[in-house]
């Protein structure tokens, strides 16, 4: 339907939009499923410190728009 609504008035795509609309009308209509209440709880234990260097960065810069930090 988004395609039909977008291109229905555009003369180069109007026939394609009408064809898509007829195709949609022939489709079997189904009810949208209701959103099931679901929740996933996860816990990740804090690992022990290894004492090893995990990452080393040099010459790193970041900016947001025109602002540089």
Q: DSSP code of 23?
A: H
User: Is residue 67 very low, low, confident or very high in pLDDT (cuts 50, 70, 90)?
Assistant: low
Return phi, psi of residue 5, to 5°: -65, -35
Return phi, psi of residue 67, to 5°: -90, 135
Q: What's the whole-number mean pLDDT along residues 27-56?
A: 82
Residue-wise pLDDT for 8-21, tens only, equals 787 888 888 888 88
> Domain-by-domain residue ranges, the chain?
1-29
Higher pLDDT, 51 or 21: 21
Query: What percent of the chain stands above pLDDT 70?
Result: 96
Structure tokens of 39? 């929740």
């Amino acid at each position: 339907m988004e395609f039909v609504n977008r291109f229905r008035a555009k003369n180069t795509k109007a026939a394609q939009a009408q064809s898509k609309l007829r195709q949609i009308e022939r489709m079997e209509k189904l009810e949208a499923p209701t959103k099931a209440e679901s929740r996933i709880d996860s816990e990740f234990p804090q690992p022990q410190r290894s004492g090893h260097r995990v990452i080393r960065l040099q010459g790193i810069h970041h900016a947001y728009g025109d602002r540089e930090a």
